[in-house]
Chains A and B, each alone.
Chain A
């Protein structure tokens, strides 16, 4: 548990010290969302209807963009090798790293979502439920993404490969994230079921993805 907390604290500190990566992720999120009205037109009714989907997709892309920082820096300075051969199980270390990554990029991105919701004329009732679905669903994005990042660590032009691998796996999370928001617009308790399935994805990916990520890291660092 000591190692877990140490890695968690170290990664959060590093992210806070560097700062730049988070700002870029939020900037990217903002720009993608602002491009949508230029593409589909400024009709407020239309924007309100597609807002949950747009916000989810933009969030998903922002998470994807930040994924290569998860292992790449540690790979370059050699500390990743120490974590692999270290005493603590690698799967455990990966959970700590993903958690730190989620706290430093996922949570701030979610906090920025309500502001972007105003841009897209999102219905006022939907704000709370949107943030809630994102809080429940985004850890799954980070865990699945961690497996992809581990598979592509140390590969030249790995970023493109990473998106090709990870994006198809994001489909279920996107489907249930958006449908939870949309069903809440229809009725008060319509979103409970979808929310539960979303939570199931997060828990399952938290249990399985670190195993795949650890196996991939070991294969890549051999």
Chain B
């Protein structure tokens, strides 16, 4: 972990890794989308609309994974003061928020033919919405506090507080939902998923994860460069440049 704490080494490593990861992402998206849109059979109840699943489920999965990544990076940043963990957590937040937004939008598009409404206060949709709000709060901290070290510590504490709360929120939303709403949700796929649906789904999850890695590396690289520019400017102002 500490071998790559040096930003210069990180920049060198990612410039080698990036083209390969981008190529892998494109290939797995092509394979996953082909499998999901053409080879997977339509659902016997939902028909062709079930194909939204191949873009929806991986997005929802990545929304959670990105937040976990962010919380873990924040923990590393607070405990070991790892200089890149800070950058990683900051860069992961907008990407995770986008995945959450994508999951909400595709969920809503899927909900229209299934539930007859764009938005249903279903437990999963609701906890996704609150996850989205948590992301917004985290991003707002970075935007409000100008000094990066202080912003990093404050944001890291918030990310961890949020991470502890996610299971509690999920639990309470499920409780609330079972209390208020009569269940009218069609279960997707049933208990076991057929292999012809499962493989495109797994490939799509891989593709989304790779996409996250690509975007994260790009975003971290630009953040490292931004900080370099900032410190060069400060040095110039102070007369050391």
Interface residues, chain A, with chain B CB atoms under 8 Å away: 147, 151, 155-158, 161, 164-165, 167-169, 171-172, 175-176, 179, 182, 201, 208, 212, 215-216, 219-220, 222
Contacts and interface: CB of A to CB of B under 8 A. Distances in A.
B172 A175 contact: yes
Contacts, number: 70
Describe B's contact surface by its main secondary structure.
helix
Q: Which of A158, A176, A219 has the most CB of B within 10 A?
A: A219
| 8 A-B pairs with least C-beta separation | A172-B172, A219-B153, A168-B133, A165-B137, A175-B176, A175-B172, A164-B137, A168-B130
A172 B169 contact: yes
A168 B144 contact: no
Nearest to B130: A168
Main secondary structure of the interface of A (DSSP, over half): helix
Given A151-B141, A164-B133, A164-B136, A212 B173 contact: no
Contact of A179 (B162, B164, B179): B179
B137 A168 contact: yes
Given A164-B136, A179-B179, A219-B150, A171 B157 contact: no
26 contacts: A147-B161, A151-B154, A151-B158, A164-B133, A164-B136, A165-B137, A165-B158, A168-B134, A168-B137, A169-B165, A169-B169, A171-B169, A171-B172, A171-B173, A172-B172, A175-B175, A175-B176, A176-B172, A182-B179, A201-B168, A212-B161, A215-B78, A216-B154, A219-B150, A219-B153, A220-B150
B59 to A, nearest CB: 20
B160 interface: yes
Contacts of B171: 172
Nearest to A221: B150
A222 B136 CA distance: 25
A220 B154 contact: yes
B145 interface: yes
Contacts of B153: 215, 219
Given A168-B134, A212-B157, A215-B78, 6 more contacts: A156-B144, A169-B161, A171-B172, A175-B172, A176-B175, A219-B150
A216 B157 CA distance: 7
Given A161-B141, A168-B133, A176-B172, A222 B150 contact: yes
Contacts of A176: 172, 175
B76 to A, nearest CB: 15
Interface of B: 78, 130, 133-134, 136-137, 140-141, 144-145, 150, 153-154, 157-158, 160-162, 164-165, 168-169, 171-173, 175-176, 179
Nearest to B175: A175
A208 B161 CA distance: 9
A208 B164 contact: yes
Contact of B145 (A147, A155, A167, A212): A155
A161 B169 CA distance: 20
A161 B165 CA distance: 18
A166 to B, nearest CB: 8
B174 to A, nearest CB: 10
B140 A161 contact: yes
B71 to A, nearest CB: 13
A157 B78 CA distance: 26
Contacts of A155: 144-145
A129 B173 CA distance: 22
A179 B176 contact: yes
B179 to A, nearest CB: 6
A171 B160 contact: no
A169 B162 CA distance: 8
A140 to B, nearest CB: 11
A171 B130 contact: yes
Nearest to B132: A168
A167 B133 contact: yes
A17 to B, nearest CB: 31
Contacts of B179: 179, 182
B159 to A, nearest CB: 11
Residue from B136, B158, B162 having most chain A Cβ neighbours under 10 A: B158
A158 B154 CA distance: 13
Given A147-B161, A167-B133, A212-B160, A219 B154 contact: yes
A150 to B, nearest CB: 9
